[in-house]
Homo-oligomer: A and B are copies of this chain.
């Protein structure tokens, strides 16, 4: 299985992207995890280490895809 992690911060841009992008992923092949950085600040460092600059962002097997723009990760600290 491949891994997909969707980082967001609960903003409207994030929620819309979460619902539609995750819905489109192939759940037979991807373990999908959703991380709310606004509620779980302990994972901000992990997101930054992965290269995430803003949310919403999708990490597909370690590759970062910034999707639209909701908030900068720096503003979540």
Nearest Cβ on chain B to A75's Cβ, whole angstroms: 19
Is A20 on the interface with B (CB-CB < 8 A)? Answer: yes
Nearest Cβ on chain B to A59's Cβ, whole angstroms: 10
Q: Say whether A24 contacts B60, CB under 8 Å.
A: yes
Q: Say whether B65 contacts A20, CB under 8 Å.
A: yes
Q: Say whether A65 contacts B68, CB under 8 Å.
A: yes
Q: Say whether B66 contacts A20, CB under 8 Å.
A: no
Q: What would be 21 A-B contacts, judged by CB atoms less than 8 Å apart?
A: A2-B24, A4-B24, A17-B65, A20-B63, A20-B65, A21-B65, A24-B26, A24-B29, A24-B30, A24-B60, A25-B25, A25-B26, A26-B26, A26-B27, A26-B28, A64-B68, A65-B67, A65-B68, A66-B68, A66-B69, A67-B67
